[in-house]
Copies of this chain bind each other. A is one copy, B any other.
Amino acid sequence: MYSGCMSTPERLIESTRELLWERGYVGTSPKAILERAGAGQGSMYHHFKGKPDLALAAIRRTADDLRATAERVLAGPGTPYERIEAYLLRERDVLRGCPVGRLTMDPDVIASEELRAPVDETIAFIRQRIAELVEEGKRQGQFAPGLDGEEIGAAVLATVQGGYVLARASGSPAAFDAGVRGLLSLLTPPATGKDR
Contacts and interface: CB of A to CB of B under 8 A. Distances in A.
Integer count of this chain's copies in the complex = 2
A152 B175 CA distance: 11
The 9 A-B pairs of least Cβ separation, nearest first, read A158-B162, A162-B162, A155-B182, A151-B182, A161-B162, A154-B179, A158-B179, A154-B178, A186-B186
Interface of A: 22-24, 26-27, 97-98, 101-102, 104-108, 110, 116, 119-120, 123-124, 127, 146-148, 150-166, 168-171, 175-176, 178-183, 185-187
21 contacts: A23-B26, A24-B107, A27-B106, A98-B165, A101-B162, A120-B170, A120-B171, A123-B169, A124-B170, A147-B185, A148-B182, A148-B185, A150-B178, A150-B182, A152-B182, A154-B182, A155-B159, A158-B159, A158-B179, A159-B183, A161-B165
